Structure 1
Amino acid sequence: MPPRPDLPSQPLPEDKELVLKVVPMPADVNANGDIFGGWVMAQVDLAGSVLPQRISHTRMVTVAVNEFIFKQPVRVGDILSFYAGVQHVGRTSVTVNVEVFAERFSDQGHYVKVTEARLTYVAIDATGKPQALPDTPQTRAWREKLDKQSAAAKKD
Structure 2
Amino acid sequence: MNHNSTIEADTAAVRALLERTCEAWGRGDGAAYGESFTADATDVTFVGTVYHGGEEIGRAHQVLFDSFLKGTRLAMKIVDIRFYGPDTAVVVSHGDVYKTKPKKLGKVQTYTVVRQQDGQWRIAAIQKTKRQNLMEAISFRFQPASRPRTSR
> How does the TM-score come out when normalised to structure 2?
0.33
Higher RCO (C-alpha under 8 Å, 6+ residues apart): 1
> How does the TM-score come out when normalised to structure 1?
0.33
Task: Determine which structure has the larger helix proportion and give its number.
Answer: 2
The structure number with the bigger radius of gyration is 1
